[in-house]
Amino acid sequence: MLVLALVTAFGRLPEDWQGGIRSIYPVVVLVVGAVLGWRFHRSRLLLALAVLVLCDRALIHVAPLPPDALGTRALRHGIAILLPINLAFLALAAERGIFTLRGMHRAIAIALQAGALALIHTYAGTRTLGGVARALADMPTPLLDLPIVALLAFGTAAAAMLYAFTMRGTATESGFFWAILIALIGVWPSGSDVTSSGCLATAGLTLVLSLVEASYGMAFRDELTGLPGRRALQEALIQLTGTYTVAMVDIDHFKKFNDRYGHDVGDQVLKMVAARLGRIRGGGKAFRYGGEEFTILFAGKDVEDAVEQLDSVRKDIGAIDFVIRAPGRPRKRPDTPRPRRRKSSKTRITVSAGAAERNNRNSGPDDVLRAADKALYKAKQQGRNKVCT
């Protein structure tokens, strides 16, 4: 998307393309984004698109006006300052729906900003708003013909998105980060109305694609463990051809462990096992099947190769000293040490696995999956903590 924005900004586009980029492209992005945002109840996307559309319309309005006019410079500088601030706020704010009280408050705040800039631009020559217009228009512009306040706003917003992405790692923060960078190209005063419309529309398209990516992740990835979920497993099974092996992995005595220590500790066990299975070698790919069960696909591998890798990861998991926090122990170390009520305990977690290969008897993915499940049951019957075929 950033490359597309740069091409739009600096490339020499045919004349017949420019009209479409200025008029059709933003409308298509707005309609698609509005439909998806409405369908998935994503008010942040809808409000972000509204911000981009308002900026686009304002920049098109002032494009034929003298660039050094007081009202024009005040409006351009105001947009350059408020655009990154609003995008960053929407990215970091919690999702509150479309017609909730907080959602309406955010929409009103955006409308008030747009109204204030429109009044400053229209009445820049009056005594009432002339001082505000001159303050915006006369801001120092050391780089890219943008005021230093706008550059600081864009830099702070991008840094905030990078930090949020490192903490959460979701497509939403990533989408807003790239949208802010693309929007920076769109508000360059030296750009034409085609450049600004194309870049701001591309910023909106980036946000729409981030929503699609986030929705895909929610549907195909397990939220607790981070592994691909059962729906992703079904998609992967359909695509398998030739030789392959399917393995079912189950945490031993997980129900008793969960009942004894609680669901929070049980979730930590699931995360630990999932992390180890996710790093399995030999071309294996791990999936969360459901509950305490996991599935590993070995595309192009026979059962002997798969068993070797499964046995290795089984031993790796069994060798870990899993620490169970004492009741009432804080998650973070306090500044002032508190007297210990009860020591934390350690335990070992083991897993059992069953593997099956595609062959004449098990020709389809569902057949291989059932055979692997039978092999897992066999491992359970033989005392657990082992791999069977």
Does residue 292 carry a catalytic annotation?
A: yes
Q: Is residue 24 domain-shared with residue 69, that is, in the same domain? A: yes
Helix (H) or strand (E) run with residue 246 in it: strand 244-251
* Mean pLDDT across the chain: 86
Q: What angle do CA 210, 33, 117 make, to 5 degrees?
A: 100
Q: Is residue 314 domain-shared with residue 198, that is, in the same domain? A: no
Site of tokens 């990154």: 84
Looking at the 3D structure of the chain, how many domains does it have? 2
Query: Rounded to an integer, what distance in angstroms lies between the CA atom of residue 75 and that of residue 268?
Result: 53
- Answer with the one of 161, 194, 220 that is the final residue of a domain: 220
- Answer with the one of 194, 220, 246 that is the final residue of a domain: 220
User: What tokens appear for 241 in the block?
Assistant: 């051809």
Residue-wise pLDDT tens digits, 290-314: 889 999 999 999 999 999 999 999 9
Q: Identify the pLDDT of residue 186.
A: 87
Q: Which amino acid is at 107?
A: A
Is the CB of residue 197 less than 8 Å from the CB of residue 25? Answer: yes
Would the pTM count as exceeding 0.85?
Answer: no
Q: Is residue 268 domain-shared with residue 137, that is, in the same domain? A: no
Residue 337 forms part of a structural domain = no
Instruction: Give exposure, 213-236, as e/b (b: 16+ Cβ within 10 Å).
Output: ebeebeebbbeebebbbeebbeeb
User: What tokens appear for 185 in the block?
Assistant: 């190209």
Q: Is residue 378 domain-shared with residue 318, that is, in the same domain? A: yes
Q: Identify the pLDDT of residue 31.
A: 93
Residue-wise pLDDT tens digits, 7-32: 766 666 666 556 666 678 888 999 99
Question: Could you tell me which of 110, 130, 111, 112 has the C-alpha nearest to residue 122?
Answer: 130
Residue-wise pLDDT tens digits, 76-129: 999 999 999 999 999 999 887 777 888 899 999 999 999 999 999 999 989 889
Residue 225 forms part of a structural domain = no
Q: Which of 292, 293, 304, 308 is catalytic?
A: 292
Q: Is residue 213 domain-shared with residue 355, that is, in the same domain? A: no
Q: Is residue 90 domain-shared with residue 207, that is, in the same domain? A: yes
- Answer with the one of 220, 255, 282 that is the final residue of a domain: 220
Residue 151 forms part of a structural domain = yes
- Residue 209's domain comprises 2-220
Is the CB of residue 310 less than 8 Å from the CB of residue 356? Answer: no
| DSSP code, position 95 | P
Distance of CA 136 to the CA centre of its chain: 35
| For range 336-358, the mean pLDDT | 76
Q: What is the CATH number of the domain that holds 311?
A: 3.30.70.270
Main-chain dihedrals φ then ψ at residue 353, nearest 5 degrees = -145, 145
Main-chain dihedrals φ then ψ at residue 328, nearest 5 degrees = 85, 0
Q: Is residue 122 domain-shared with residue 254, that is, in the same domain? A: no
DSSP characters for 279-330? T--TTEEEEEEETTEEEEEEET--HHHHHHHHHHHHHHHHT-EEEEPPTT--
Residue-wise pLDDT tens digits, 137-196: 999 887 667 899 999 999 999 999 999 988 887 888 899 999 999 999 888 866 666 778
| For range 215-226, the mean pLDDT | 82
Query: Rounded to an integer, what distance in angstroms lies between the CA atom of residue 129 and that of residue 312?
Result: 73
Pick the more confident residue, 209 or 141.
Answer: 209
